[in-house]
Amino acid sequence: MNKTIPKSTAPSTQFPKCPTGIQGLDEITGGGLPRGRPTLVCGGAGCGKTLLAAEFLVRGAVQFGEPGVLMAFEETEVELKANVASLGFDLAGLVRRKQIVLDYVHLERSEVQESGDYDLEGLFVRLNHAIDSIGARRVVLDSLEALFASLPNEAILRAELRRLFRWLKDKGVTAVITAERGRDQLTRHGLEEYVSDCVIVLDHLVNDQIATRHLRVMKYRGAQHGTNEFPFLIGAEGISVLPITSLALNHKVSSERIATGIPRLDAMLGGRGFFRGSSILLTGTPGTGKTIIAANFAHAAARRGERVLFFSFEESPNQIIRNMHSIGLRLEPLVKRGLLRFHSARPSLYGLEMHLATMFKEIAKFQPRVVIMDPITSLMEAGTDSEGKAMVTRLIDFLKAGQVTSLFTSLTQGGHALQQSETAMSSLMDAWVLLQDFEGNGERNRVLYVLKARGMAHSNQIREFLISDRGIDVVDAYIGVSGVLTGSARVAQGALEKAAVLANQQEAATLKREVERKRSALDRQISGLRSDYESEALELRRIAEQVGTRTSVLGTERAASGLLRQADIKVVASTRGKPRLGRKN
Amino acid sequence: MKPKPVKRRASAPARQPAKLWQLRLYVMGQTPKSLTAFANLKKVCESHLKGRYRITVIDLVKQPQLAKGDQILAVPTVVRRLPKPVRTIIGNLSETARVLIGLDLRAAD
């Protein structure tokens, strides 16, 4: 988790800095604590003062090669080793290797009698001896205020403390002094009077029954520093302060695209799905199918062989697996193959910082390519609005740095306010898919649309999606003059259109038949006329033939009668050429 | 040293009969404060524990590592190693009454 360790000296500062190695703290302070000067860390009981100080020493020894001295006034060496070991620091080993010296200073007031003047040279000697024995560069005094309880003479003590801090400066060690938070002042005994270079205040706020630790750099003489209160957490790897601006916006970007598991949704996203490493927001009112789309996405990724980490804040893993099975999505084999892991936790289980820490830890352990948070809104309710947003920012930063694609579902209440609550979060997201219910005709239908998708041409269409036992199917919603039609209205509209087409077709067919009929009638007429004509022509020919025959017969008869009447043959011959004349005669 | 019964409130541990008082005086060099403390301690011991005490002066300038053992913070400090229990007095021991209380010598007086 400690990938970035800032340079020990920032160019803008006037004096050198001493990196703490504590995640986030160096970023807030612009490089670390003032080198060679004492820093006061104050806070109430259980704020993590001792841990912060101890981590400063341990990291100094391990990461920066600077040995350190821990002078404890409240906890014994054995206790300290045990306490710090719970954070994964091997204090005992460091002591053995002479990288850290522990000195438990204890003075029981009841066993001590005061008589006359004294000073605290003994403390100086011990500290000096410890520093010199290992060449320490860092010193922690935890917590010096215990001396006020041990030593009755406050006047001497104050004078000696003043001398101690001067002495520490002269010694050139970077010191961290812890102190209990006072009621009216910063520390109970006014130690801030002596330590004036850097003051860090730790706080432990309980909001809505959920505790969150905060760190604030109250004072940092001569250097720029973040003045805000930053949430911090104590995890298995020590303290991590989580500044919102912790990571500069310089993570690598990938142009690789990954499918959503819903082909039509991919199509809406320029045909190829989301960008790898992008952050995706899926918002919708209750029951719009957010988890189903998320599970589809997880399923698709796991099927590609990518590890998927599914954080569920409302349902148990088995419940999700069972529910997804009902739509034909089999997640269990993927879980068994180790490609899909669920992590369920109630949002109210612990504070946001702890959730974040747990998530960071899980992500670091599992190394997923895809992370799903379902739903992020219920997690955000564990803190205030701004805390929630800060947490999402940090989470996205963290995931983007690791090129992990993240999908957050977000539950919204119905109505128009739905987009408002998300606007804050949405600016962090690269893609935003909105799921919505359409109510009408006595039914509710689900639609989805891509509200934004950075860096890709995406569909502006509202699509209806259907959830069946075979999974999700995205279909075109009917968009007409009366608005968007979904569900049975869409089907009805479809039927209506089909009927219209059919009617048109029928009409055309009727027309065609009519035309055909007309043509055949025409044909019939023509053939009738033709047959009339033909029969007349035939008649004519017949008559002509009859006439011819009759004439010749007449001629023959006349010749015969002529013969009979013994007429002139010449007359017979001439009447043969002109039968009509002959007939008229 | 002749055995002389000493009236004591708390009976001394069995293994060491309460006869020899072992006192350690922690100082930082030969400063006036150190010398005063030593003189004051000597005076008290001479008047109350004559012949039954031994004072070891530890100079932390020379032996800084010894400061840790007896949990020395203030200087000068007198530690009564024996008889048990261990008692500690800090300061230059100028207030004799407090020294006597500190060393638990009131009762023995």
Tens digits of per-residue pLDDT, B18-74?
Answer: 578 889 999 988 888 889 999 999 988 888 888 888 899 999 888 888 888 888 888
Can you give the pLDDT at residue A131? 92
Residue whose entry in the numeric block shows the structure tokens 């053939």: A527
Nearest CA to CA, how far is A52 from chain B (Å)? 25
| Helix, strand and coil in chain B, % to nearest 5 | 25, 25, 50
Domains of chain B, residue spans: 21-103
Which amino acids of A are annotated catalytic? 74, 314
Can you give the pLDDT at residue A210? 65
SS3 category, A476: strand
SS3 category, A483: strand
Average confidence (pLDDT) over A418-428: 64
Can you give the pLDDT at residue A272? 85
What's the ipTM? 0.79
Q: What sign has the CA pseudo-torsion A114, A118, A123, A126?
A: negative
pLDDT tens across A257-305, in order? 888 888 888 888 888 889 988 889 888 888 888 888 899 999 999 989 9
In sequence order, what DSSP letters do the residues of B13-52 get, joined into one string?
A: PTTS-TTPEEEEEEESSS-HHHHHHHHHHHHHHHHHSTTS
Closest CA to A305 of A402, A370, A371: A370
Position A422 pLDDT exceeds 70: no
Of residues A107, A115, A123, nearest to B95 (C-beta) = A115
H or E segment at A155?
Answer: helix A154-171
Angle (nearest 5°) at CA A125 between A119 and A130: 145
Percentage of chain A modeled with pLDDT above 70:
88
pLDDT top residue among A4 and A468: A468
Report the CATH fold assignment for A17-241.
Answer: Rossmann fold (3.40.50)
Q: Are A129 and B65 a contacting pair at CB < 8 A?
A: yes
Chain B partners within 8 Å of A128 (Cβ) = 64
Distances (CA, A) of A76 to A97, A102, A105, A178, B79: 19, 9, 8, 16, 21
Position B3 pLDDT exceeds 60: no
Position A475 pLDDT exceeds 70: yes
Angle (nearest 5°) at CA A174 between A171 and A178: 115
Nearest CA to CA, how far is B98 from chain A (Å)? 6
Cα end-to-end span (Å), chain A: 142
Q: Do residues A273 and A450 make contact, with C-beta atoms less than 8 angstroms apart?
A: no
Can you give the pLDDT at residue A515? 94
Q: Do residues A80 and A54 make contact, with C-beta atoms less than 8 angstroms apart?
A: yes
Residues composing chain A: 585
Position B2 pLDDT exceeds 50: no
Burial class of residue A228 (count of CB atoms within 10 Å of its CB; 0-12, 13-18, 19+)? middle
Reading the block at residue A452, the tokens are: 């934004």
Q: What is the mean pLDDT of chain A?
A: 82
Q: Do residues A179 and A189 make contact, with C-beta atoms less than 8 angstroms apart?
A: yes
pLDDT tens across A67-102, in order? 999 999 888 888 888 888 877 788 888 889 989 998
- Mutation pick from B90, B94, B98, B105 vs chain A, by most beta carbons of A within 10 Å, is B90
Which segment of A4-13, A216-225, B65-74 scores lowest on mean pLDDT?
Answer: A4-13
Burial class of residue B23 (count of CB atoms within 10 Å of its CB; 0-12, 13-18, 19+)? buried
SS3 category, A479: strand
Domain B21-103 of CATH type 3.40.640.10: no
- Mutation pick from A76, A109, A111, A113 vs chain B, by most beta carbons of B within 10 Å, is A113
Distances (CA, A) of A207 to A47, A378, A387: 15, 16, 11
Average confidence (pLDDT) over A427-456: 83
Burial code (b: 16+ CB inside 10 Å, e: under 16) for A547-574 equals eeeebeebbeebbeebeeeeeeeeebee
Looking at chain B, the number of H-run helices and the number of E-run strands are 2, 4
Position A579 pLDDT exceeds 60: no
pLDDT top residue among A370 and A550: A370
pLDDT tens across B59-106, in order? 988 888 888 888 888 889 999 888 888 888 888 888 888 888 888 776
Report the CATH fold assignment for A257-480.
Answer: Rossmann fold (3.40.50)
CA distance A154 to A167: 19
Q: Do residues A129 and B67 make contact, with C-beta atoms less than 8 angstroms apart?
A: yes
Average confidence (pLDDT) over A547-563: 78
